[in-house]
Amino acid sequence: MLILDATVMNVALPRIQADLGFTDTGLSWVMTAYSLVFGGLLLLGGRAGDLFGRRRMFVVGAAVFTAASLLGGLAGSAEMLIAARIAQGIGAALAGPSTLALITTTFTEAKARVRALALFSAMSSGGFAIGLLLGGLLTEWISWRAALYINVPFGLMIVLLTSRFVAEAPRRRARLDIPGAFTGTFGVGSLVFAFTHAASHGWSDPITLGTLAAGLALLAAFLVIETKVSEPLIPLRLFGERNRAAAYANFFFGPMAMMSMFFFLTQFLQDIRGFAALETGLAFLPMALCMFGLSRLIPRLLPRFGPKPLALTGTALMVGGVVWLTRLTPESEYFSHLLGPMVLMGVGVGLAFSPLSVIIMSTVPTEEAGAAGGVLQTLQQAGATLGLAILITVFGAVTRTPSGSPAETTVDGMTAAFTAASVVTALTFLVALTFRRRAQAAA
């Protein structure tokens, strides 16, 4: 539910823009407001679970998320929808780290834990693509508001049934690093705002330059704080093991490319090719099936081959898929130009990213599960948020100087964004080269 909401609104963006009056560049904040707050507060949410109880934070977060979904469905203005998306992000940040930590502490036997974490990865990565399909179905059959209302019954069931089926994990003494949470969240937020603002106003604008400088300064302060406090939001020892550090790095770079693909392709299909919302959602079904299917095979493939061959194969396929998308034109058809890249991305993500949560969470001490899960999901959301902001900037720089018809200009901006995304996916391949061989990983 939490990951699905990062993409479920994508297909509905044209309807939302028409109903609530968003600008072209401002429309990205429907996605960014959620993922920014979600990612920015995840570390604090992980520590809150360690301090106040993971099951309690899981329930509180789910309740906040559910109430915010209802508020978003009732939104009558752009500002109200953005406020609801921010509240959803707060609820997701409280529930997200505790979700992963509760799985880790509930399944203590090694094989059972690997299976549980692999299923978590399947649901998580599948949620990105399934969100597009569900968003298309609900937008076409009912309204874009239904994409938010759908969370309400599931959220209520989670809140009501958790006390019966989920055991409380042992607590440990911890402190909330408020200065770290403040500087980290507002640092990333300032960078995202700077890139988004640059898309419409350029890099010479004083607001762009000011927020960029503020973001860099805040992130520098965050790093200093994390080295000084006794209970850091990001314990640096989590990056001490080679495979875990590589997994964390790719959890940052991978969503950068994925979110751009979802954001731009949904608009290409609807605005350029004239697809209905339902058709757009169904167009992403092959990708969702590939991602989910490969994720289910990870418990068998990972022990047999180790992380390196899976990561190298998966990231190479992702590079091919994104590079293929740089060839789009306004006349590009779905079966000739889009189905292939989607299948490559689906298989690639399933192979390259589904093992990452297993690699990270199966090797951390139980008492650090909350912090480890928080870092994992923080890097995932921060990568998606910052990546989308950067690629929106690339798109905006190209479309500010029309090169032909409106459709040609828009597609030129999209292909430029995909070119930048292909560089990011190439980085995921380079990171995959650093994984240990199977024998080393087993040892």
What is 243-276 written as a DSSP string? Answer: HHHHHHHHHHHHHHHHHHHHHHHHHIIIIIS---
pLDDT in tens, the chain (443 residues): 887 776 777 777 778 888 887 766 677 778 778 877 877 777 777 777 777 888 888 999 999 999 999 998 898 888 888 899 999 989 988 888 788 778 877 887 777 877 787 777 777 766 766 777 777 778 778 888 888 888 899 999 999 998 888 877 666 665 667 788 788 778 877 877 787 677 667 777 888 889 889 989 998 998 888 888 877 777 777 787 888 888 888 888 888 877 777 778 888 888 888 888 778 778 888 887 887 777 777 777 877 877 788 888 988 999 999 999 999 898 998 898 899 998 998 888 888 877 787 778 777 776 666 677 777 777 877 787 778 778 888 888 888 777 778 888 888 989 998 999 999 899 989 988 888 765 344 44
Q: Tell me the one-letter amino acid at 286.
A: P
- For the chain, state the CA radius of gyration: 21
How many CA atoms are closer than 13 Å to the CA of 440, on its beta-carbon side?
9
Helices (H), ranges, 202-241:
206-228
Count of C-beta atoms within a 10 Å radius of residue 406: 12
- For residue 9, give Cα distances in angstroms to 33, 94, 144, 149, 159: 12, 21, 8, 12, 24
What pLDDT is recorded for position 257?
79
What pLDDT is recorded for position 54?
82
Domain range 4-166+178-437, CATH class: mainly alpha
Q: How far apart are CA 281 and CA 259, in angstroms?
A: 15
- For residue 420, give Cα distances in angstroms to 130, 199, 281, 390: 25, 15, 25, 9
What is 7-43 written as a DSSP string? Answer: TTTTTTHHHHHHHH---TTGGGHHHHHHHHHHHHHHH
What pLDDT is recorded for position 382?
74
- For residue 350, give Cα distances in angstroms to 225, 246, 384: 36, 17, 17
